[in-house]
Structure 1
Amino acid sequence: MKALQDLAIFVEAAKHGSLTGAARQLDVSPAVASAAIKRLETELGSPLFVRSTRSLRLTQQGEQFLRYSEQALDLLQQGQQQLQNADKIQGSLLISAPSDLGRDVILPLLDAFMSLYPNISTRLSLSDEQAKLFSQPIDIAIRYGVLGDSSMIAMPLVKDNRRVLVASPEYLAQHKTPAHPLDLKHHECLFYELNEVRYNRWQFHRQEEDIAVSVTGRRASNDGGVVRQWALSGKGIAYKSALDVKADLNAGRLVPLCTDWQGELAPLHLLCPSRQQLTPAVKALHRFLRDQLA
């Protein structure tokens, strides 16, 4: 990669103020270093150095180009390290995730992660029932909510995720759009329930004001994906994690409601039963998901 070598020579020459110093650092001849700088200057159509008999000094164009050259070489080094580490990160991961988030968000991200790390295999268990990490053969779990069990290792993925009120354009065309959370009492609301507990008390915050609204409706499911599908098909208003409906909101399939109010926090974490199970593969997956979900 001659172009990359030319950039490296340019950066080292700027650092040492000398072609000889750059050549010595990169183990090339001074003639090779000189030819590299001339190639760059010809391609850019600008002088990079002011030359004297004893030293080199960057021109104004050279100072500008140096910043980009350093960034390019840093990115290259990161890519090389990632490829080298990919061979070291290996093993099988059994992952538990909520059904809606897992199917629509985590699944494609896992495919991308496995493309980066060819020695990783995964098993994805999708359920809104919370997996018992200590009694089930689960390596890691992806969970919403404020955590109560401090014995587990919790690694944040999206700290500030919140629930949002959403409805389809079709539903809103037939019903008056709620302007305040209390207006929900006059709407058909879609419920999520778990272990026979129906989550029909929805909380909101605005400046110094907090409000909890007990809502009603004829549809409830223990699968968050079903609640989302009901909302998409115009059956009512849902109170969903922003991560679950981000793509629908961006595409206009769902519309956010009462946007001057904040829904309750629903932070997303990656959980591991113990520090002994924080393998390089688990750490790599956490970094990848955190960066992608950000």
Structure 2
Amino acid sequence: MIRLDDVQAFVQAVDAGGFSAAARLSSVTPAMVSSAVQRLEKELGVRLFVRSTRSMRLSDDGERYLPHARAMLDSVAGGARALAESRGEISGPLRLAVPSDLGRNVLLPWLDDFQAAHPGISLQLRISDRTIDLHRHPIDAAVRYGMLDDSSLVAQPLLPDNRRVLCASPDYLARHGRPGHPDQLREHNCLCFVWGEQVHDRWNFELPEGLCTVKVTGNRVSDDGELTRRWALAGHGIAYKSHADVAADLKAGRLVDLFPGMGERSPLNLVTAHRTQLTLAVQQLRDFLRERLGDRVR
């Protein structure tokens, strides 16, 4: 008889990258995780991991079994959620992926409020500007900017009219002047963002006469959106940020919008791998974030 706890230990070991890391997440010993995986391997009659003294990786059988193990755990969790939702309750794990700047500085306190309103929720949060494969990783929903590259994903709009904002601090503008046209950005230090392996150094603007694309350069590049905003606040250059990220800075005068209404569109969505993941918890989170984000950018 396969034990559900053993299946969970196997999946956690895969996601965490090893028995020790999985043990820390579950507050147990690595030996307990190892024993659970060994029991599962014995029941299945296969080796799920290829182990050596220095490394551990999934075997071919482990790769084949992993999606079924995830489906088993998701099915059990889904059953519990369905019973709770029938009573009008929200409970269980809520696994979210959010971008760095928006996540740390905007969403984090809001998620505290959401969890306080629904104490049965166990929040699991990933903060990163790297795109997570929602089909392969155990994520219920992700907050993402821009149009979706994968048409199989399901997007729930949070800020459909969100745009990027070309912004700089008053100190930077006092020292270097304010560009009057996007073409003049070639004369300024632009703070570029790395998306995946690509530097986002071609900035698009929607001008009255049509689309304008400028190839920018600068002496600071980062793959962390929060760091780019901090550099802009410190006066190190001009940033091209989402309005949702910098709305409070613009209102407070810490940053200046250089070309109001001309930034490229960057809709903000709550994304799931498929419609079955639009649980009551995800739907209520969507409505909650829509309201808070709408108030923020007004």
Q: TM-score, normalised by structure 2?
A: 0.68
Equivalent residue number for residue 204 of structure 1: 205
Q: Is the 8 A contact 1:162 1:264 kept in 2?
A: yes
Following the alignment from structure 1 to structure 2, what is the Cα–Cα distance between the partners of residues 218 and 198? Answer: 13
Task: Please state if 1:281 is matched with 2:281.
Answer: yes
Q: Is the 8 A contact 1:87 1:119 kept in 2?
A: no
Equivalent residue number for residue 228 of structure 1: 229
Please give the residue correspondences for 1:112-123 in structure 2 after superposition, counting only pairs within 5 Å.
112-123=113-124
Deviations 1:41-99 (A, max 9, x none): xxxxxxxxxxxxxxxxxxxxxxxxxxxxxxxxxxxxxxxxxxx9996122211100100
Q: Secondary structure at the match of 1:226?
A: helix
Segment of structure 1 superposing worse, 126-135 or 110-119: 110-119
Instruction: Specify the code of the residue in structure 1 equivalent to 2:103.
Output: G
Equivalent residue number for residue 217 of structure 2: 216
Sort the Cα spacing of 1:140 and 1:179 in 2 relative to 1 into closer, same or farther, 3 A.
Answer: same
Sort the Cα spacing of 1:285 and 1:86 in 2 relative to 1 into closer, same or farther, 3 A.
Answer: farther
Q: How far 1:105 sits from its partner (Å)? A: 1.1
Aligned length: 210
Q: Is the 8 A contact 1:165 1:239 kept in 2?
A: yes
Equivalent residue number for residue 253 of structure 2: 252
Q: Is the 8 A contact 1:178 1:258 kept in 2?
A: no
Following the alignment from structure 2 to structure 1, what is the Cα–Cα distance between the partners of residues 155 and 147? Answer: 10
Segment of structure 1 superposing worse, 153-162 or 86-95: 86-95
Q: How far 1:148 sits from its partner (Å)? A: 2.2
Following the alignment from structure 1 to structure 2, what is the Cα–Cα distance between the partners of residues 173 and 118? Answer: 49
Following the alignment from structure 2 to structure 1, what is the Cα–Cα distance between the partners of residues 223 and 189? Answer: 18
Q: How far 1:120 sits from its partner (Å)? A: 1.4
Q: Secondary structure at the match of 2:206?
A: strand
Sort the Cα spacing of 1:124 and 1:111 in 2 relative to 1 into closer, same or farther, 3 A.
Answer: same
Runs of 4+ with >3 A deviation = 84-87
Gaps of 5+ in 2: 1-84
Equivalent residue number for residue 7 of structure 1: none
Equivalent residue number for residue 263 of structure 2: 263
Q: TM-score, normalised by structure 1?
A: 0.69
Following the alignment from structure 1 to structure 2, what is the Cα–Cα distance between the partners of residues 168 and 203? Answer: 21
Q: How far 1:225 sits from its partner (Å)? A: 0.6
Deviations 1:130-161 (A, max 9, x none): 11111111111110001121211110000000
Instruction: Specify the code of the residue in structure 2 equivalent to 1:229.
Output: R
Task: Please state if 1:91 is matched with 2:92.
Answer: yes
Equivalent residue number for residue 79 of structure 1: none
Sort the Cα spacing of 1:180 and 1:85 in 2 relative to 1 into closer, same or farther, 3 A.
Answer: farther
Instruction: Specify the code of the residue in structure 2 equivalent to 1:138.
Output: I
* RMSD of Structure 2 on Structure 1 (CA): 1.6
Q: Secondary structure at the match of 1:138?
A: coil
Q: Is the 8 A contact 1:155 1:286 kept in 2?
A: yes
Q: Secondary structure at the match of 1:263?
A: coil
Please give the residue correspondences for 1:48-197 in structure 2 after superposition, counting only pairs within 5 Å.
88-197=89-198
Following the alignment from structure 2 to structure 1, what is the Cα–Cα distance between the partners of residues 153 and 179? Answer: 40
Following the alignment from structure 2 to structure 1, what is the Cα–Cα distance between the partners of residues 168 and 155? Answer: 32
Q: Is the 8 A contact 1:86 1:116 kept in 2?
A: no
